Structures are given as C-alpha cells and as structure tokens.
Amino acid sequence: MAPIPPESVEELRTSGNQSFRNGQFAEAATLYSRALRMLQEQGSSDPEKESVLYSNRAACHLKDGNCVDCIKDCTSALALVPFSMKPLLRRASAYEALEKYPLAYVDYVTVLQIDDSVTSALEGSSRMTRTLMDSFGPEWRLKLPSIPLVPVSSQKRWECLPLENHKETSKRKSKETTSAKSRVPSAGDVERARALKEEGNELVKKGNHKQAIEKYSESLWFSNLESATYSNRALCHLELKQYQEAVKDCTEALRLDGKNVKAFYRRAQAYKALKDFRSSFADIDSLLQIEPRNGPARKLRQEVNRSLN
C-alpha cells in the first residue's frame, strides 16, 4: 500500500526539511513549493511561515547551483519578513557566486547590523571588500548600492527567538566566539585587522557609526587581541544608544588592557545611561586612579554622584 502523502502545510514543510537533510534538494524544493501553494490557496496571512518556506526553497536552489531562483526566493522571503538573516545570507552567497560582488557585500553587512558575530557574514564581507578593492581601487565604496539601515526593532526581534531557535542561536554564537578566541592571528591577519580598524576610525570621524561598527567587527574577526578596537566599537554603540553592547565591548577591552582609560570612561557612560549608577561610579573611580586629573571623568563623577544622592 502506497504511503499517504502529507496533507498539511506543516507536514509538507517537515517532509521538505527531511529531504533537504538527506541531500535530496530537488525533492525538498518540490515539497516546499507544494506547501507554499497550499498556504496561498488557504488565504493564510502568516508572513513568517510563508517567508520561511521561500527561504528554505532558496536553500535548495543554492545547493543545486540555481543562483537566479535562489535570489528570487530570498527576495520574496525578505519582502514578507524584512531583515531575516537566513535569506540575506543565502542571497549574498548567490550574488557572490554570480560575481555580483557589490550586492553580495550589501547583504553581508546588513546581516552584521543584525548580529555582528555571524562568522559567515564577517568572512563574506571581508572577501567582498578585498575583491571590490582589487576591482575598483580606493573608491570602491562609490560603486555600492545603498546599504539599508536595520531598525532596532528588527535587531530586537532576532534577540527574542522562540526557545528552540534561541538555543540553536546561542550554541552557534558560543561556537563562533570560542573559534575566534582560540584562533591565533597571523602577521597578515594582524595587518588586515589594523587596516580595518583604521577604516572604522575614519568612519567615526564622519559620524558614520553603523558602518564603523561593521569595520571594527571585521577587524576583530582577523585579530581580537587589541583592546582599542573594542573600546572604539563601544564608542559607536554609545552613539547609537546601544548601552548593553557598549558595556560588553568595554569589558572585553579591559580584559585585554586593565588600564584602558577610554574603556573605563565609556563603560561608566553606558552604566549611567542604564541607571546603574554604582557601577558607573566604580568605573570612574578606577579611571581616576590611573589618571587623577582626567577632566571629563571628574565631571562625570559629579553627575553620577548627584544621581546616587
């Protein structure tokens, strides 16, 4: 007796996932297509579910080398749920395979705005930077399409994943962090990190803190041993009112250099903005032990003192 074919959208999606895991990409794509048709025929207004199906089918196209259809499906997925990381990464890979490097770069750096620890995006943006510099020279940025600014609400949405996805994401982040920390940078890595940090510094001078964060993040992927890169990225987080991220970067900077005055000052500013006045005061106190005449720190101490009293 022939098996009964799956009848619901969820069953079709699950069967598609199993086929994909088994390396049967064409079969998986067919199952995702059936699920999409069924969902659309039902008139269901579930953009998340529809977006996932487009993204999953895009992964099948990418595996089969059908980059054009991969891009189409990723674009459909993103139209339904903007700034979804998987379709952005899949579309970036497809653009790169088609040698559409400026478009690939834009998608990679968009992912880094959402989560600056995604290794594939860091590596991809670095590859695209090198390729574009080789192709267009120092003015390569002028050849780029506009890079979308990811709203904070979209960043927060990916921080509030369902429990199962959250565990998977946490595991990935832990693996990426461990990999970066255990990796000993070569002399070439250190030089590349320095150049990227300088690019970040130039962007800060122009007030472009979002792109500066991307550059500092790329720099830290090549070498995460320089305290100043973390404290510089913390400055950008402060400017963008991302205070928790600023605290994290300053803490890492101080782990590498316990006398990094800028890291103490910026963490104190972040703690003050978070209304953690005691921690802010403690950081200012530590800073003033290193530089007793530091004017901005003394002024900040007075402000924090008033809040404590």
- Average pLDDT for residues 248-253, to the nearest whole number? 93
* pLDDT at residue 222 is higher than 90: no
What pTM does this model have?
Answer: 0.55
- Average pLDDT for residues 289-307, to the nearest whole number? 94
Lowest mean pLDDT segment, chosen from 153-157, 188-192, 194-198, 304-308? 153-157
pLDDT tens figures, 54-75 = 999 999 999 999 999 999 999 9
Distances (CA, A) of 274 to 14, 23, 141, 277, 281: 43, 48, 36, 8, 13
φ and ψ at residue 3, rounded to 5 degrees: -65, 145
Q: What is the pLDDT of residue 179?
A: 44
Q: What is the pLDDT of residue 136?
A: 86
Q: Tokens at residue 43, please?
A: 């008139």
* pLDDT at residue 184 is higher than 80: no
Distance of CA 168 to the CA centre of its chain: 16
Lowest mean pLDDT segment, chosen from 13-22, 78-87, 139-148? 139-148
198's CB contacts (< 8 A; 6+ apart) are none
Q: Around 103, how many Cα atoms within 13 Å sit in the side-chain half-sphere?
A: 14
Residue type, 152: V
pLDDT tens figures, 32-56 = 999 999 988 887 678 999 999 999 9
